[in-house]
Chains A and B, each alone.
Chain A
Amino acid sequence: MALTRWIRRNLVVFAGLGTLAYLILPNVVVLVFSFNKPNGRFNYEWQRFSTEAWADPCGVADLCGSLSLSLKIALWATIGATVLGTMIAFALARYRFRARPAVNSLIFLPMAMPEVVMAASLATLFLNMGVDFGFWTILIAHIMFCLSFVVTAVKARVMSMDPRLEQAAQDLYASPAQTFLRVTLPIAAPGIAAGALLSFALSFDDFIITNFNAGSTVTFPMFVWGSAQRGTPVQINVIGTAMFAIAVLCVLAGQLAGTRRKRS
């Protein structure tokens, strides 16, 4: 009786942990299969343990080249989208002007549109303009779809900011530039950082829009997609696992630094 009551009271916990397992299971599979030595070209069935792939992560042609291209594109797309998006966010959060509703919907629409529609229409534009597909078309596309996410993140932060802080700075004879650099920007920084991180993740992992606008250029997701047709090298799992580990370590380090700062 007590047991059934305990189970009933914690039903939501069990269900939640079940969902968590569903979310994490593929990552576990990716990790385990990074130590596999498949017989054929495809790494879908467990054969025997091997650390070969970990010893030579770049052992597959074009894999690491595509990885560094993706990192490069993600970096530039993040910088571009963060700068442009932060400017828009400040305009929307701080000023009232006639075109506001139009600007708001222009920001909202890319987030409410299936990627395949944006991808196909942008590619149509490039085709009609006779632009060569490659690095630049990918970068343009990535900045385009990351922008809205930066605007949303930064706008929320700037709008929740106390305007009296800036007035106080000005009362203390800070110039507009000083006020902006030493009061406004530090307060908005977490929003800008969140937008930038999101942009990086979205750009690095984007497949659909890149698929339409890359031409013969191969980013990391394009490489994985191609390998799903031709044969999946174990190295893909190695890189997937390494990215996961690096991300978790970064987050944990950030948390640790955060708790230390709180204590001191």
Chain B
Amino acid sequence: MSATTAAETAPPAPPPAAPAGLRKAARRKKMVPYWLLLPGILWLVIFFAAPLVYQASTSVQTGSLEEGFKVTWHFQTYWDALTEYYPQFLRSVMYAATATVLCLLLGYPLAYLIAFRAGRWRNLVMILVIAPFFTSFLIRTLAWKTILSDSGPVVGVLNSLHILDVTSQLGLTDGERLLATPLAVVCGLTYNFLPFMILPLYSSLERIDGRLHEAAGDLYAKPFTTFRKVTFPLSMPGVVAGTLLTFIPAAGDYINAELLGSTDQKMVGNVIQSQFLRVLDYPTAAALSFILMAAILAMVTVYIRRSGTEDLV
């Protein structure tokens, strides 16, 4: 934060008139930020913060759609939700964590390529990373149904190499199929959130002074040592931002599990969606989303503390 204060950027003070007028002008100037904030912050308070409070009260209500819901401090809902849906919770965390690691492994080379090796192709590669965004992600996720289909080339090749035998032994796939397996869902999650990893990685890699690489080389560091001791530590802000931007939406996602998975791959997002929109059991949906929110906030806080990048927020 620079030392830009109101005084520095403020217009020149009006010519000295009555002291009372001056004081009023000063008070008015003090109110300027609040007037600027008011409409937007009101919007967020009413439509973001207040709903969370509402959600909290809904989660301890009991009743039915016909008779209406009443707050009865029924904390049992939380316990019931956890005992009934803990497999979905675990699955969400595991799928999201796996997808995040895969995004990092896949995204880092591409971000590195754009930042240091693309040369005059840099803009083109950048466009190719961003452009797929403009086709609705639901359409692109449906395209994975074609790519991974049972009679498609991917399944054919993997089958002839007996790779699917190995993965189904590991429980990642099921028989000679890819669709409706954990692997397909994780593949979809990885694909959908990959740009959210690449862009922050790129922006922190791009800031690294190229001369640092030369210096490391001059000091007899091998290329991999240069990467491990210089490049990677300097790209940490991008790694942290990228993993957060990937993990958080992936943990709450229900689209990939719905389109690419079967009932055995349902994540907690699917449960919330069906409880809310189909079963109309609002207290359970509220309790589930509260647990999800708390779990993610806790994980994110610990992660940010650990990686020592609090200034990110």
Contact = CB atoms under 8 A, between A and B. Distances in A.
Interface of A: 9, 12-13, 15-20, 22-27, 29-30, 33, 44-45, 84-85, 87-88, 90-91, 93-97, 99, 103-110, 112-118, 120-125, 127-128, 140-141, 143-144, 147, 151, 159, 163, 166-167, 170, 175-176, 179, 201, 204-205, 207-208, 211-212, 220-221, 224-225, 228, 232, 236-237, 240-241, 243-244, 246-248, 251-252, 255
A85 B40 contact: yes
Given A84-B43, A117-B293, A244-B134, A29 B147 contact: yes
Contact of B4 (A26, A93, A117, A225): A93
B219 interface: no
A65 B277 CA distance: 24
B37 A103 contact: yes
B307 interface: no
A9 B139 CA distance: 37
A144 B47 contact: yes
Given A95-B33, A225-B138, A228-B259, A23 B41 contact: no
Interface of B: 1-2, 4-6, 8-9, 11-12, 30, 32-34, 36-37, 39-41, 43-45, 47-52, 54-55, 58, 106-107, 109-114, 117, 123, 125, 127-147, 149, 151, 191, 194-195, 198, 223, 244, 248-249, 251-255, 259, 269, 272-273, 276-277, 282, 285-286, 289-290, 292-293, 296-297, 300, 313
Contacts of B30: 97
Helix, strand, loop or mixed for chain A's interface?
helix
Given A29-B146, A110-B48, A212 B129 contact: no
B55 A26 contact: no
Nearest to B2: A159
A23 B127 contact: no
A53 to B, nearest CB: 13
Nearest to B297: A112
Contact of A23 (B33, B39, B191, B249): B191
Contacts of A159: 1-2, 4
A242 B233 CA distance: 41
Given A29-B147, A121-B51, A163-B9, A23 B195 contact: yes
A105 B48 CA distance: 12
Given A114-B292, A147-B44, A26 B33 contact: no
A76 B282 CA distance: 30
A212 B285 CA distance: 12
B251 A114 contact: yes
